[in-house]
Structure 1
Amino acid sequence: MRNLIGFILLLPLFINCQAEKNRISKYPAQIGDIVFDENVDEAEFKKCWPQDLSFQYYNDSKGVQYLGEKIKIERELKTLNLRDTNSSNGYITIRFVVNCAGKTGMFRIQEMNQNYEKFTFDKKFTHDILEFSKKLNAWIPKEYLGVKINYYQYLTFKIENGKVSEILP
């Protein structure tokens, strides 16, 4: 009898736990999380365990973790001589995930003018900057407590008179 009363008292708790498992949130776990989109993301790119956890760029003070550092990225970009046909000014930010093997994926683009307002550059120019970012293949995997992790990285291309004048951060 005592076990039956205990079971009846605990039954709502078990039912509530099951309901929580079936609920899918429309919100990401962290602000700014990139959610896999089969329409734009490459299916072969895989996040490492834990898949739903990626460290943000501000979780590490080491800056850009690229073999040859940011200067190598800038030198590679300079050889392409990319130009916006409209001689626009502003910023193009490419944000992506680097997994535990140093592979990249889940690229997202944000464009804005010099006043930080939404803006659209020439499509070919933006596409060329995105493709350049995707081809960068010397990202250094990061570790946290001895475990290699996924992390977000971003590159902001400052555009002046239609040309990249600087890469941030």
Structure 2
Amino acid sequence: MRLTILSFITLVFLTSCSDKQNISSEMYIGTYRIMDQMVPYPFIIQQKKDTIYLYNNKGNSIDKITNTSINKNKSLNFQEKHLKITQKEDDEFLAFDLLDTTNFKTFKNGKPSPKNSAKFKKIKSENKLDLQKVKKEIGKFIWKYDVVEDENSNPNNDLEIEKLFYFKNDSLNIITNYYYQGLKTISEYETKSYNFFVIDSIYFLSLQKESSNPQPIYQIVRYDSNKIELRDFSSRVSKNIIFHKESISVIDYTELAKNSSIYSNCFDGYQGEYYFGDDVTFNKGNEYIINYVNENIPKNETNSGYLIVHFNINCSGKVGNFGLIQMNRDFKATAFSKEFVNHTINKVSKLEEFPASNSQLERLNYKDVHAFLMFKINNGKIVDVCP
């Protein structure tokens, strides 16, 4: 009798465990494709029981297939994506879309290139959120993010960069402020679409532009009335980023936006270098730049050295996304006066005679380029610039 009861309990226990395993769900978020370019790949894959679901950047299930596992060399053949698993680890995998020959380049022998694969990272539920409360409250405030730079950022040692976010009903408005030694030098403004969604108690914030300009999906880790914590998967090492509630009013924010220059990359995933493809040097030449920046230059600077302003040139020839590096004549770190730096960066931001940039190389797909101007300074005056 005792053996019969024990056997029954064991059977119930094993059945219970089996049921839990069957209903368990594994979630993978698309981080980026192309290992050395990190173009966002905004899709989510969920494995649940014997079905694998594919979600887009708005959290909509766009396809599903019957499959029991995600393993190396296996293919997940959705209707519009045939994802060949080229590498598989416990918490991530690389997938190559066999149907997308434009964005997924093969080797010459036609085999998938792991470098050009898309990376998916396993994620798990963090904190339970009231998503309706988040949607209702988030648009009432302005949120500040002190930028944590990574491989997607332009070279920068000396500028402090903050972003101010305003989640309107129909758009996300972003002001980027650049500070040097506490002085705001310039501000940029752009808008994107956004969406909040939840899949199996995991919460997401996704950004959207045109389909040809993919934007990342963030996992929402936690939210309260003063702070939003997100997990950012857009660089090689995922990181948590925090938006803090800012004291500025919506009215004041709107005024700041009006007084900021409008700038946006045409393709946020990757910027080429100025020396790729066609010549994207300044149309009027370096002599013009020297004379232009020296106009009304502050007289309080007496140091000598090099001031390097990094920036992007977008497909319309506009300038934005700044970085700053300063060196003395021995190429060691130095600091010019805030007035001198503010003047120089403002002058560069107003240059409008750069040619529009678009990739002319099949192996490098970009619409914007990273460029820089290295000013040689002698006793507070610009005497040369390169490239």
TM-score (normalizing by structure 1): 0.75
Match of 2:283 among 47, 67, 73: 67
Match of 2:70 in 1: 12
Question: In 2, are the aligned partners of 1:90 and 1:158 still within 8 Å (CA)?
Answer: yes
Question: In 1, are the aligned partners of 2:272 and 2:366 still within 8 Å (CA)?
Answer: no
Q: Following the alignment from structure 1 to structure 2, what is the Cα–Cα distance between the partners of residues 60 and 111?
A: 28
Paired residue type of 1:43: Y
Match of 2:367 among 149, 152, 163: 149
Q: Rate the CA distance shift 1:42–1:81 in 2: closer, same or farther, 3 A.
A: closer
Q: Following the alignment from structure 2 to structure 1, what is the Cα–Cα distance between the partners of residues 328 and 371?
A: 21
Pairwise CA distance, 1:76: 1.8
Question: In 1, are the aligned partners of 2:271 and 2:367 still within 8 Å (CA)?
Answer: yes
Query: What root-mean-square deviation, in Å, do the aligned CA atoms of Structure 1 and Structure 2 show?
Result: 3.3
Match of 1:28 among 148, 151, 155: 151
State how 1:87-166 maps to structure 2 within 5 Å.
87-145=302-360, 149-166=367-384
Question: In 2, are the aligned partners of 1:82 and 1:164 still within 8 Å (CA)?
Answer: no
Match of 1:55 in 2: 272
Q: Following the alignment from structure 1 to structure 2, what is the Cα–Cα distance between the partners of residues 67 and 86?
A: 29
Pairwise CA distance, 1:68: 1.6
Other structure's SS at 2:307 match: strand
Pairwise CA distance, 1:85: 2.2
Q: Following the alignment from structure 1 to structure 2, what is the Cα–Cα distance between the partners of residues 29 and 86?
A: 33
Q: Following the alignment from structure 1 to structure 2, what is the Cα–Cα distance between the partners of residues 61 and 84?
A: 38
Deviation per residue, 1:38-65 (Å, 9 max, x gap): 252513221113x211002343473x52
The structure number with the bigger radius of gyration is 2
Question: In 2, are the aligned partners of 1:95 and 1:154 still within 8 Å (CA)?
Answer: yes
Deviation per residue, 1:107-147 (Å, 9 max, x gap): 11111111111101111011111111111112111232388
Q: Following the alignment from structure 1 to structure 2, what is the Cα–Cα distance between the partners of residues 115 and 60?
A: 33
Greater relative contact order, per chain length (Cα 8 Å cut-off, separation 6+):
1
Structure 2: segments with no counterpart, 5+ residues: 1-49, 51-65, 77-90, 95-118, 124-148, 164-175, 178-186, 191-262
Paired residue type of 2:377: I
Paired residue type of 1:130: I
Question: In 1, are the aligned partners of 2:308 and 2:325 still within 8 Å (CA)?
Answer: yes
Deviation per residue, 1:9-68 (Å, 9 max, x gap): xx1337855982467xx84269859xx85252513221113x211002343473x52232
Write 1 or 2 for the structure with the bigger share of helix: 1
Question: In 2, are the aligned partners of 1:94 and 1:156 still within 8 Å (CA)?
Answer: yes
Pairwise CA distance, 1:86: 4.4
TM-score (normalizing by structure 2): 0.35
Question: In 2, are the aligned partners of 1:84 and 1:121 still within 8 Å (CA)?
Answer: no
> Which stretch shows the higher mean deviation, 11-20 or 88-97?
11-20
The count of residues paired between Structure 1 and Structure 2 equals 156
Question: In 2, are the aligned partners of 1:141 and 1:148 still within 8 Å (CA)?
Answer: no
Write 1 or 2 for the structure with the bigger share of strand: 2
Other structure's SS at 1:128 match: helix
Q: Rate the CA distance shift 1:65–1:92 in 2: closer, same or farther, 3 A.
A: same
Match of 1:43 in 2: 189
Q: Following the alignment from structure 1 to structure 2, what is the Cα–Cα distance between the partners of residues 46 and 125?
A: 26
Q: Following the alignment from structure 1 to structure 2, what is the Cα–Cα distance between the partners of residues 55 and 117?
A: 27
Q: Following the alignment from structure 1 to structure 2, what is the Cα–Cα distance between the partners of residues 107 and 30?
A: 9
Deviation per residue, 1:47-101 (Å, 9 max, x gap): 113x211002343473x522322232223224x1424524111010100011101
Structure 1: segments with no counterpart, 5+ residues: none
Paired residue type of 1:52: G
